[in-house]
Structure 1
């Protein structure tokens, strides 16, 4: 879970042609390039559009924090807050799919289990400890 005044958006952007594979060598990467070439030709999102989407996620009021914090750019009529990972509109934590929509019920159930069994709190505690280890201080 994120702090109540911060939004976290995990995005599955779809296939983005970045050029990363041009550095790979050998038979395995060569086969992968041939296999994925048709998929990339049909389904990839241009890198400019991917950047535009990220700016939208970062600035839109569609992805507000649970409470407090910045409101973002106002939404047009008929568009509300995205469904958060907790299954509620405006939950503060968002898992966004290819179409920029919220989390599916199966993922919501998984996350609910992780919260209930204490895993989410353990991850947050570990993250805070790492920030202290790396920076030497706690966030205020």
Structure 2
């Protein structure tokens, strides 16, 4: 059970009290580090996420990639087009269902995985935190995400 802080609303409305702001600031800081680390790979951070899913899962329909990354097909389509233009992925319509597009790695896309191997280590080092602390943070953020996803229907009803 979550207990609400016994503080005045005015105090709770301070920017330095907003977890969402801290998460956004951390996300932007991560983005800056990823920009530097991914430059030599020729990837943006969202493209890197797509590649991570494909390296881990193999060939997938666009819909499944979107589920893994919590992105809709309207956001994914331009990313996938750029990755295809770069020669890293191949997109093919399913012969069974023309609405479904499957994405697979090209030889160059699969080979990029080896070069990307140093990215997580360098990012972990850049945080300055012990690996156990980062694992705990990730677990907490996963719990927050599940709780917030579950809360959305309740909030829209009230």
User: TM-score, with normalisation over the residues of structure 1?
Assistant: 0.31
More helix by share: 2
